[in-house]
């Protein structure tokens, strides 16, 4: 038997295992952050879509009756499918829904991403923070 022959090992060293585990940890951390950012953007997009559809329903109601609604800006199932939309994160009503009168309204939803709202709109703004607001078009 040849004594100069190296013994071959079949396995990984501790260092190799630590490197692989570290790489998997970094990739997992990046995936979690990316996923949470996607959820935040999706909620903000949903808020904007909800408020725009609510605005369209109220404008259709105004076009037919010549007035906006007084009872919480709820145009009912005829103009807005289902009940008035709720915030996707909290499940609560959107901000400013009490500012609906016969001559106008201002509906706002607070966004998760700073700087993506229209809170500088003087015609319709709601408190401090970053809000997306819609108001009467008439």
Please state the domain extents for the chain. 14-135
Whether residue 40 contacts residue 32, with contact meaning beta carbons closer than 8 Å, is answered with no
Provide the 10 A C-beta neighbour count for residue 39: 13
Judged by phi (left if over 0) then psi (alpha if -120 to 50, else beta), residue 33 lies in alpha
CA dist., res. 33 & res. 39, Å (int): 10
pLDDT tens, per residue, the chain with 138 residues: 556 666 677 788 999 999 999 999 999 999 999 999 999 999 999 999 998 988 898 898 889 888 887 666 777 777 887 777 888 888 887 766 557 888 888 888 888 877 655 544 445 666 666 888 888 887
Give the per-residue pLDDT at 133: 85
pTM of the model: 0.70
Give the per-residue pLDDT at 121: 47
Residues 6+ apart with CB under 8 A from 118: 131, 132, 133
| The 3-state secondary structure of 16-39, one letter per residue | HHHHHHHHHHHHHHHHHHHHHHHH
DSSP element (H, E) containing 106 = strand 106-110
Give the per-residue pLDDT at 78: 77
DSSP for residue 83: S
Give the per-residue pLDDT at 96: 64
């Amino acid at each position: 038997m040849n004594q100069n022959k190296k013994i071959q090992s079949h396995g990984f060293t501790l260092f190799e295992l630590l490197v692989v585990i570290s790489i998997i940890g970094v990739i997992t951390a990046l995936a979690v952050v990316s996923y949470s950012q996607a959820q935040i953007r999706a909620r903000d997009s949903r808020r904007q879509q909800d408020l725009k559809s609510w605005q369209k329903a109220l404008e259709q109601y105004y076009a037919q009756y010549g007035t906006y609604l007084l009872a919480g800006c709820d145009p009912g199932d005829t103009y807005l499918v289902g009940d008035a939309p709720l915030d996707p994160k909290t499940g609560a009503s959107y901000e400013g829904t009490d500012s609906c009168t016969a001559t106008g309204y201002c509906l706002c939803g607070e966004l998760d991403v700073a700087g993506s709202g229209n809170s500088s709109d003087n015609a319709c703004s709601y408190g401090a923070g970053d809000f997306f607001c819609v108001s009467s078009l008439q």
